[in-house]
Amino acid sequence: MSNRPSHIAIIMDGNGRWAESQGKSRTNGHERGAETVRTMTTFCSDHPEIDRLSLYAFSTENWKRPKLEVEFLMKLLERYLKNELPTYLNGNIRFEPIGDLTPFSKSLRKVIDTVQNETSQCNGLVQSLALNYGGRDEIVRAANALRESGPLSVESLGQALDCPYDIDLLIRTGGDHRLSNFLLWQASYAELFFTNTLWPEFSIHELESIIKKFKTVERRFGGLN
């Protein structure tokens, strides 16, 4: 029996390096990366075995980038969500952000809330964007939320996380081999695939190839088959 890629998570790395290799600005790379997000989301929404797609869009560490780049990313995110609302609705895709949204501007938070509310009744693919997200921060916030409820358990802490769903397949583009603080709890038994392809060049064909390989992996979850 082959594995089912119910929950796919992707660390979308390489926008800036792609732009530099093309002699373009880093902002152009982020714009191209947003187009790839649309392509992958549409593909996953049509795939009969994929229920959830989690994408690492902006980490808690990304605030360290140059101020102008961060400002551009905030504007790009706001524009992307406004433009993509028809895509979500037409594709029956539910949008769910994860992360600490409090540092974002009021206008951006309003757009995030609007898209989340408008798509709340969609029952197809769930696209989860990690925004101002860090795995360690998520676990600490969950533990603090449960502080007064008695002893913690794996089950109670897991349910208190921004994303309480285990990952089946985690992909990182861009050539690096690390998790970079992304969904650390949820990736405990995920199958990890790394590709040198930069995110703006990541294709449906390559994703299909990775899924095909994933289906053949023997997943033991610490036991024996």
Per-residue pLDDT of 170-185, as tens digits, reads 999 999 999 999 999 9
Per-residue pLDDT of 194-210, as tens digits, reads 999 999 999 999 999 99
Between CA 132 and CA 12 the distance in angstroms is 14
CB 135 within 8 A of CB 184: yes
Q: What is the pTM of this model?
A: 0.94
The pLDDT of residue 225: 63
Between CA 5 and CA 21 the distance in angstroms is 32
Confidence category of residue 129, pLDDT binned at 50, 70, 90: very high
Per-residue pLDDT of 74-127, as tens digits, reads 999 999 999 999 999 999 999 999 999 999 999 999 999 999 999 999 999 999
The pLDDT of residue 107: 96
The pLDDT of residue 10: 98
Task: Quickly list DSSP for 116-150.
Answer: HHHTTT--SPEEEEEEEE-HHHHHHHHHHHTGGGS
Q: Which residues of 61-82 are buried (b: 16+ CB within 10 A; e: fewer)?
A: ebeeeeeeeeebbbebbbebbe
Average pLDDT of the chain to the nearest whole number = 95
**What topology is assigned to 7-216 in CATH?**
Undecaprenyl pyrophosphate synthetase (3.40.1180)
The pLDDT of residue 223: 65
Catalytic residues: 13, 62
The pLDDT of residue 210: 98
